[in-house]
């Protein structure tokens, strides 16, 4: 076997062990409502607490998970853990609206025929209200097989969960298909947000996307907000929800819980 093949095999084994040894962690990045200025949602982001190498980002290990067939079990672990955490926040905020919890769905997971069933099982096991769960699915995944995606998104919405089209603006969406997608939220990609303030053309593109989403009855979540100037532009353009380093980096569940308890106005 080549050195590269060995490395992959070893990483595959290490990932399998990581699942067994409970070394995966979910970090949470707050999403703020432009209207209330408070946290309304938390996106779960996967990390691996490696015993020797420390905290690893998904880009460093997820490609190997895909190769070794572990993407599916890891995906299910994420859904279950997100639902469990969401339920805890749901209970803690029984007097107020609990935050939505968001999980990212990989292409492999989205392609599974048991996707809807496993999500439904996790909701039932944990007692999380379906409306408090948001599933983030990349635009490029949905466009891969638009017809099949429309049916699948319909089944997810039937379940009562929220659907977010992630990384919007990075793939070539067919606008005629888009109107048949039933998402609740359109998530503007960081690559669009970063250009705000650079010139009228970039601003016009974001304005058009926000208007399109609103016309279709969806709300808009801008991701990757890093500056006050970007926030100002997004506010003026009518963006509904913002997320990014300007407010918070992804934080641990404990830190997220403390932030939610404080419930302060952040914008």
List residues near ligand G by CB under 6 A: 29, 45, 104, 166-167, 190, 223-226, 244-245, 250
For the bound state, the minimum distance from the C-beta of residue 65 to ligand G, rounded and expressed in Å, comes to 16
Helix spans in 21-114 (H): 58-67, 71-92, 107-111
Closest to ligand G by CB, 103 vs 120, is 103
- Select the binding partner of residue 6 from ligand G, Mn ion, none (C-beta < 5 to 8 A, by kind): none
Nearest residue (CB) to ligand G, 47 versus 87? 47
Annotate 111-138 with DSSP letters as a single string. Answer: H-TTHHHHHHHHHHHHT--GGGEEEEEE
CB 167 to ligand G: min, Å: 5
User: Based on CB atoms, which residue is closest to ligand G, 183 or 250?
Assistant: 250
Using a CB cutoff of 8 Å and minimum separation of 24, what contacts does 188-195 make? 188/220, 188/221, 188/222, 188/223, 188/239, 189/223, 189/224, 190/223, 190/224, 190/244, 191/224, 193/222, 193/223, 193/224, 193/225, 193/226, 193/230, 193/234, 193/244, 194/224, 194/226, 194/230
Contact partner at residue 226 from Mn ion, ligand G, none, CB < 5 to 8 Å by partner kind: ligand G
Those residues with Cβ within 8 angstroms of residue 159's Cβ, 6 or more apart along the chain or in another chain: 116, 119, 120, 123, 130
The entry of Mn ion, ligand G, none near residue 122 (CB within 5 to 8 angstroms by kind) is none
Contact partners, residue 148, CB within 8 Å, separation at least 6 = none
136 forms part of the interface with Mn ion (CB under 5 A): yes
Say how far apart CA 217 and CA 181 lie, in whole Å: 12
Q: What is the CA radius of gyration of the chain?
A: 19
Choice between 62 and 120, CB closer to ligand G: 62
Residue among 120 and 243 whose Cβ is closer to Mn ion: 243
- Nearer CB in complex with ligand G: 38/223: 223
> Which residue has its beta carbon closest to Mn ion?
136
Q: Least distance (Å) from ligand G to the CB of residue 139? A: 10
Rounded least distance, CB 134 to ligand G, Å: 11
Q: Which does 80 bind (CB under 5 to 8 A by kind): ligand G, Mn ion, none?
A: none
Smaller CB distance to ligand G: residue 183 or 244? 244
Per partner kind, with CB cut-offs from 5 to 8 A, the member of ligand G, Mn ion, none near residue 98 is none
The one segment of 3-11, 93-101, 161-169, 211-219 that binds Mn ion by CB under 5 A: 161-169
Give the shortest CB-66-to-ligand G separation in angstroms. Answer: 16
CA 128, CA 184: separation in Å to the nearest integer? 19
Q: How far is the CB of 104 from ligand G (least distance, A)?
A: 5
Please, are residues 61 and 79 in contact by the beta-carbon 8 Å criterion?
no
Q: Cα–Cα distance between 142 and 110 in angstroms, integer?
A: 9
Q: Which residues would be at the binding site for Mn ion (CB under 5 A)?
A: 104, 136, 166
């Amino acid at each position: 076997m080549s050195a590269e093949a060995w490395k992959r095999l070893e990483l595959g084994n290490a990932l399998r062990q990581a699942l067994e040894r409970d070394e995966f962690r979910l970090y949470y990045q707050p999403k703020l409502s432009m209207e209330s200025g408070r946290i309304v949602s938390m996106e779960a982001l996967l990390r691996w607490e490696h015993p020797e190498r420390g905290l690893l980002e998904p880009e460093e290990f997820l490609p190997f998970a895909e190769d070794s067939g572990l993407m599916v079990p890891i995906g299910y672990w994420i859904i279950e853990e997100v639902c469990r955490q969401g339920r805890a926040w749901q209970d803690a905020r029984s007097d107020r609206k609990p935050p939505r919890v968001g999980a990212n769905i990989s292409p492999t997971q989205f392609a599974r025929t048991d996707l809807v069933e496993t999500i439904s099982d996790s909701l039932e096991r944990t007692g999380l209200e379906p409306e408090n769960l948001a599933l983030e699915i990349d635009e490029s995944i949905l466009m891969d097989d638009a017809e099949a995606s429309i049916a699948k998104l319909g089944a997810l919405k039937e379940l009562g969960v929220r659907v977010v089209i992630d990384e919007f603006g990075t793939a070539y969406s067919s606008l005629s298909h888009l109107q048949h997608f039933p998402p609740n939220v359109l998530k503007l990609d960081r690559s669009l947000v970063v250009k705000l303030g650079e010139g009228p053309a970039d601003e016009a593109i974001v304005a058009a996307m926000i208007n399109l989403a609103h016309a279709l009855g969806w709300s808009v979540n801008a991701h990757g907000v890093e500056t006050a100037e970007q926030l100002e532009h997004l506010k003026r353009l009518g963006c509904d929800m913002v997320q990014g380093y300007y407010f918070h980096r992804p934080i641990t569940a404990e830190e997220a819980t403390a932030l939610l308890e404080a419930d302060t106005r952040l914008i």
